[in-house]
């Protein structure tokens, strides 16, 4: 890895770690990262070795490209072309760029391992800040910054990765120790954030990714039972948490649940009226308020709180196909690889994407800039580790 690539690794790491603490500072570091990336891209093209650099990730590049081109008609037929074009490049280029940066140019084992573990540790600190905020008297912890659900969505993406690293024997003791401490902090951060969607997502995803490890290890079974007992006792003795957990299934009187269902119905109505290309990217809120808001809706929601509903309403069946193709490629490619080889990186990729998709049924995670950039950074790192058979 040349000097410019090492500098790119540093700035990508700073950017992905700083973006929730300060979006302005994060944007500056992302800007520098993009400039370095474009320089390296030009240099690789000039030396005619760009195709060699990306040959192992062609399937992912193709799936991202299909997603981009399937979203394009919703821009071309939008009644606000500039707004929709800006959204297209934010969603399908800018936020996914960390994936290309890492897979093409940040390929040195030690440099990639450092920035990967630094990001993990920073997310642990982020979670600890959220816990501290609750102790200081705030109802819910949000960590470094942004919407409360930003941290929840980030944890749904990262915690499956941490769980596999801790349970699999392929990783070093140092890496496992960092991930153990971070997982504990992330668990506390998830409790501090009080996101019912995150609790449900993590219960499902962590159970699935840990199952094959737990059934083979008495120590893992005991540890899991101890965690379950502690969490059960915590929820049983806290009326606030117990009532919030019970309210997850309440669709008759819980205002948050009801409002989500109502706006999902509105999104479906948009899709029925604009089935092919939707109402236009980034046009959901304005179109929704112009005639699709149901009379019983009490809240002024800015989006549908659902990835699938939002994409279907804004980009129609064509855009939805592109997103589902990308999702399906990540799911089935990594599931099949894990089933055949039991490669832990494949399971991490699969579990992380499953967390992204499930939590995306309760919140518009695909529109969380910091979270999606972190997701693609993690995916890039895991794929480089897997492709090069790096042990971390």
pLDDT-based confidence at residue 297 (cuts at 50, 70, 90): confident
Q: How much is the pLDDT for 270?
A: 95
pLDDT in tens, 104-148: 999 899 999 999 999 999 999 999 999 999 999 999 999 998 788
Provide the 8-state DSSP code for 57. G
How far, in Å, CA of 34 to CA of 184, rounded?
A: 34
3-state secondary structure at position 67 = helix
3-state secondary structure at position 34 = helix
Average pLDDT over residues 290-319: 91
Structure tokens at 115: 């920035």
pLDDT in tens, 34-61: 999 999 999 888 887 877 788 899 999 9
Q: How much is the pLDDT for 1?
A: 62
Average pLDDT over residues 212-241: 82
pLDDT in tens, 233-275: 888 888 888 888 888 887 777 888 899 999 999 999 999 999 9
- Predicted TM-score (pTM) of the model is 0.94
Is 111 within 8 Å of 123 (Cβ atoms)? no
DSSP 79-110: SSHHHHHHHHHIIIIITTHHHHHHHHH---HH
Q: How much is the pLDDT for 127?
A: 96
pLDDT score of 328 more than 80: yes
Q: How much is the pLDDT for 196?
A: 92
- Name the residue with higher pLDDT: 244 or 354: 354
Mean pLDDT of the chain: 92
Average pLDDT over residues 350-369: 94
What do you get for the CA distance between the two ends of the chain, in Å?
A: 18
Q: Which own/partner pairs from 255-259 qualify as long-range (CB within 8 Å, at least 24 positions apart)?
A: 255/298, 255/299, 259/297, 259/298, 259/299, 259/301
């Amino acid at each position: 890895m040349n000097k410019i690539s090492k500098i790119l690794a540093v700035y990508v790491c700073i950017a992905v770690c700083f973006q929730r603490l300060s979006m302005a500072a994060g944007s500056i570091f992302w800007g520098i990262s993009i400039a370095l990336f474009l320089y390296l891209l030009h240099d690789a093209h000039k030396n005619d070795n760009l195709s060699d650099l990306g040959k192992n990730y062609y399937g992912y590049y193709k799936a991202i490209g299909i997603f981009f081109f399937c979203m394009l008609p919703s821009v071309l037929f939008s009644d606000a072309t500039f707004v929709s074009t800006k959204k297209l490049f934010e969603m399908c280029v800018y936020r996914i760029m960390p994936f290309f940066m890492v897979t093409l140019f940040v390929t040195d084992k030690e440099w990639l391992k450092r920035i990967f573990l630094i990001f993990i540790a920073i997310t642990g600190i982020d979670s600890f800040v959220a816990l501290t905020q609750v102790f200081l008297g705030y109802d819910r912890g949000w960590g470094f910054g942004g919407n409360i659900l930003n941290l929840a969505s980030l944890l749904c993406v990262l915690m499956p990765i941490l769980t596999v690293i801790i349970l699999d024997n392929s990783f070093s003791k140092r890496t496992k120790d960092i991930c153990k401490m971070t997982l504990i902090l992330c668990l506390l951060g998830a409790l501090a954030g009080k996101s019912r969607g995150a609790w449900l997502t993590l219960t499902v995803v962590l159970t699935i990714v840990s199952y094959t490890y737990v059934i083979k290890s008495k120590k893992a079974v005991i540890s899991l039972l101890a965690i379950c007992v502690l969490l059960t006792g915590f929820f049983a003795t806290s009326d606030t948490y117990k009532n919030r957990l019970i309210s997850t299934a309440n669709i008759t009187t819980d205002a948050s649940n009801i409002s989500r269902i109502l706006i999902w119905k509105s999104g479906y109505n948009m899709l029925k009226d604009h089935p092919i290309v939707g109402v236009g990217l980034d046009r959901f809120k304005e179109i929704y308020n112009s005639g699709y808001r149901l009379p019983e809706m009490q809240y002024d929601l800015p989006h549908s709180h659902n990835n699938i509903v939002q994409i279907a309403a804004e980009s129609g069946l064509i855009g939805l196909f592109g997103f589902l193709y990308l999702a399906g490629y990540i799911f089935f490619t990594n599931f099949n690889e894990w089933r055949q080889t039991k490669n832990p990186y494949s399971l991490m990729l699969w579990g992380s994407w499953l967390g992204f998709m499930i939590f995306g049924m309760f919140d518009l995670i695909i529109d969380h800039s910091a979270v999606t950039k972190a997701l693609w950074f993690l995916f890039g790192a895991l794929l480089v580790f897997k492709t090069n058979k790096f042990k971390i």
